[in-house]
Structure 1
Amino acid sequence: MKATINDVAKQAGVSIKTVSRVMNNEPSVRQPTREKVMAAVEALNYQPNLAARNLAGTKAYSIAFVYDNPNAYYVIDMQNGILSACKKQGFELVIHPCDSTKPDIIDEITNMVRTSRIAGLVLTPPFSEMPEFVEKIKALDVSVVRIMSGDAAPDDLTPCVMIDDHAAAYSITEHLVNLGHKHIAFIAGGLEHKSSTERLNGYKAALEANNIKVTPEHIIQGEYSFDSGVEGAKSLMSLSNKPTAIFSCNDEIAAGALFASRLMNIAIPEQLSIAGFENSPFSRQTWPKLTTAHQPNQAIAEKAANLLISHTRKHDNSVSEQLYTPELVVRDSTTTIN
């Protein structure tokens, strides 16, 4: 038989209401009592019926992950991170992929919030970087936490988890410069994502700091996709002024650039160094494995979800901020220039 809240209360020697307070992580419960209840929960393998709780109560116990991103690895890491926080804190997760360019996107999200009884939303780019969209979502009386690119929140609309793409891109570019490269190309991701701009600016800043002129024809606009890497590398390696290194805006682009280079019989890294960004599975599935920047997406998502749940429970309107800086990971796809 599946354990019930009554079974937990009986084993812990407390009231059903106390068990409920513990499961809802309410601060009024004393620590010794909380420990007794959680010991009973673990012993009985008790799983609260979150759907029933949502229907019966006045509080919502679901949060939503709203995204528009073609990178499956990124989305899965985000989902797993948010889900981890939800499981630990007794919340359900609603996953809502959508098209950020749709004219009725606000109506779509509004309907989702109301029908699913959403307490809060985790927003990732490009939604998190659309202030008017965020203001309209906040008007629905739900909490919002944004995951954004930059070293500081651009406003005080919501709590934010920031990713310092600029500093990480600077680090990758400087690594290539230190290997002796002076002709370093850049393949960008979608311009609707601020991360693309931040990574491009970090790349430019590192070149300028090392007295290397930024070459416009070495900067290729693309999307966060394998195909962009393929087309970008083909375009770059057809130039008379060929680069000796390519810094791609993410690992998927870099994997495409590596694939195209091999088709052109270019040896990696002996003739061309290639670096990516994010340390996704793409970076470890290529040969050679990609130099990249480790962006802990799952940890970032879990931090954002914990921040969101904290705000929904405390009705805390203060704005807080967390900062992550992806760290350089050197692998075999980059080497000193011959």
Structure 2
Amino acid sequence: MKITINDVAKYAGVSIKTVSRVTNKEPSVRQATIDKVNAAIAALNYQPNVAARNLASTSAYVIGFIYDNPNAYYIIDMQNGILSACKDKGFELLIHPCNAKSDNICEELTNMVKQSRLAGLVLTPPMSEDPKILAALDAIGANYVRIIAGEQIQDDLGLTVLVNDKHGAIAITEHLIQQGHHNIAFLSGDHGHESTKARLEGYLYALEKNKISVNPKWILDGEYSFESGVNGANSLIKLNERPTAVVACNDEIAAGALFAARLAGLDIPNDLSIVGFEDSPFSRQTWPKLTTVHQPNIEIARVATDLLIDKHRKCNDISATVFTPTPVIRDSTSTRA
């Protein structure tokens, strides 16, 4: 016979509503009550039906993760961070990949929110930075948290997790400068991402701060991909005046640049130092391993989801927080003789 919530309530000597509050991990339930209900759940081997709970309840218990990003490692980290927070608070995760450049992206997302009855959305770039998408979600009263590049919390940001990409880029560029490099190139990611702009700003700021002139030929547009790093490095290698170091906008680009440089017969790091950004598995799978900037994507996603769920439950006044990436020094950089 299937065990129901009624059976758990009777066994624990509490109301059905109390069992629901415990299984939904709502705040303000006494620990003694939580222990009593959990003991009944364990004794009866009760398995809550999440779909039925979402349909029957006046509250929603599903968080949506919306993304358009070619970096599988980034997506997996985000997914794991969101899932960790959802499990801790009794929520489920709905994953929705999409094309941010689609003509009907606003309609697609608003329809998904309505049909799936979501408690909220975790938005990552470029959706989290698109005013049209945000306006469409606001128009239907959707709850969402944005993960975006930024340095300071501002009142008009809404529910937001900021990643201080500019600071990380300054720090990693200054690492190269401290090693004696003055001829430093920059391989860009997609300009549709604010992180690209912030990382470029950090690179330029570090050069200006250290009175190093900027060579426009060493700043190359690209995408957040391995192939973009290969193409960028090949372009730099062909120049008569070559840089001695490269700041890549992420680890995929850096890995591609390293691959191309080694294929061209360059010694890394003695002939060319290369740094990445994000500290993804790419940075540890190359040879030599990449010096990079650690960006704790799992923790960023978990905190963003916590903020979203707390807002949904109206139990937290915190609306924004900032993460500051920091350099991780490995073997792809060396002192310039």
Both proteins in one fold, TM over 0.5: yes
For residue 135 of structure 2, what is the amino acid of its counterpart? E
For residue 63 of structure 1, what is the amino acid of its counterpart? I
Equivalent residue number for residue 323 of structure 1: 322
Equivalent residue number for residue 159 of structure 1: 159
The alpha carbon displacement at 1:57 in A equals 2.1
CA distance in 1, matches of 2:282, 2:299: 19
Q: Which stretches in structure 1 are left out of the alignment for 5+ residues?
A: none
CA distance in 1, matches of 2:89, 2:174: 42
Equivalent residue number for residue 201 of structure 2: 201
CA distance in 2, matches of 1:336, 1:43: 64
Q: Which moved more, 1:274-283 or 1:54-63?
A: 54-63
The alpha carbon displacement at 1:314 in A equals 1.5
Q: Does 1:80 align with 2:80?
A: yes
- How big is each residue's C-alpha offset from its partner over 1:247-289, in whole Å with a ceiling of 9 and x where there is no partner? 1000000000000001100000111101000000000000000
CA distance in 2, matches of 1:30, 1:50: 23
For residue 330 of structure 1, what is the amino acid of its counterpart? I
SS at match of 1:99: coil
CA distance in 1, matches of 2:102, 2:328: 38
For residue 273 of structure 1, what is the amino acid of its counterpart? S
Equivalent residue number for residue 179 of structure 1: 179
Q: Does 1:123 align with 2:99?
A: no
Q: Which stretches in structure 2 are left out of the alignment for 5+ residues?
A: none
CA contact under 8 A between 1:61 and 1:90: conserved in structure 2?
A: yes
Q: Which moved more, 1:42-51 or 1:109-118?
A: 42-51
Equivalent residue number for residue 313 of structure 1: 313
CA distance in 1, matches of 2:95, 2:192: 22
CA RMSD in angstroms, aligned pairs only: 1.9
CA distance in 1, matches of 2:167, 2:330: 19
SS at match of 2:119: strand
Alignment of 1:27-106 (within 5 A): 27-41=27-41, 46-106=46-106
Q: Does 1:244 align with 2:244?
A: yes
The alpha carbon displacement at 1:41 in A equals 4.3
Equivalent residue number for residue 255 of structure 1: 255
CA distance in 1, matches of 2:77, 2:197: 23
CA distance in 2, matches of 1:323, 1:44: 44
The alpha carbon displacement at 1:107 in A equals 0.9
CA distance in 1, matches of 2:49, 2:213: 61
The alpha carbon displacement at 1:152 in A equals 2.3
The alpha carbon displacement at 1:6 in A equals 4.2
CA distance in 1, matches of 2:209, 2:326: 20
Identity %: 61
Q: Which moved more, 1:113-122 or 1:177-186?
A: 113-122
Q: Which moved more, 1:57-66 or 1:179-188?
A: 57-66
Equivalent residue number for residue 288 of structure 1: 288
CA contact under 8 A between 2:110 and 2:136: conserved in structure 1?
A: no
CA contact under 8 A between 1:99 and 1:105: conserved in structure 2?
A: yes
CA contact under 8 A between 2:307 and 2:318: conserved in structure 1?
A: no
Change (3 A) 1:290 1:4: farther
Equivalent residue number for residue 279 of structure 2: 279
CA distance in 1, matches of 2:45, 2:327: 42
Equivalent residue number for residue 233 of structure 1: 233
- Structure-2-length-normalised TM-score: 0.94
- How big is each residue's C-alpha offset from its partner over 1:101-146, in whole Å with a ceiling of 9 and x where there is no partner? 1111111111111111112111011111112321220222221100
For residue 66 of structure 2, what is the amino acid of its counterpart? V
CA distance in 2, matches of 1:157, 1:324: 15
CA contact under 8 A between 2:153 and 2:321: conserved in structure 1?
A: no
CA contact under 8 A between 2:120 and 2:142: conserved in structure 1?
A: yes
Change (3 A) 1:39 1:295: farther
For residue 295 of structure 1, what is the amino acid of its counterpart? Q
CA distance in 1, matches of 2:35, 2:324: 35
CA distance in 2, matches of 1:288, 1:43: 54
Change (3 A) 1:140 1:332: same
The alpha carbon displacement at 1:44 in A equals 5.9
SS at match of 1:122: strand
Change (3 A) 1:52 1:279: same
CA distance in 2, matches of 1:45, 1:288: 51
For residue 296 of structure 2, what is the amino acid of its counterpart? P
CA distance in 2, matches of 1:168, 1:311: 29
CA contact under 8 A between 1:245 and 1:272: conserved in structure 2?
A: yes
CA distance in 2, matches of 1:51, 1:250: 39
For residue 88 of structure 1, what is the amino acid of its counterpart? D
CA contact under 8 A between 1:50 and 1:90: conserved in structure 2?
A: no
CA distance in 2, matches of 1:8, 1:240: 76
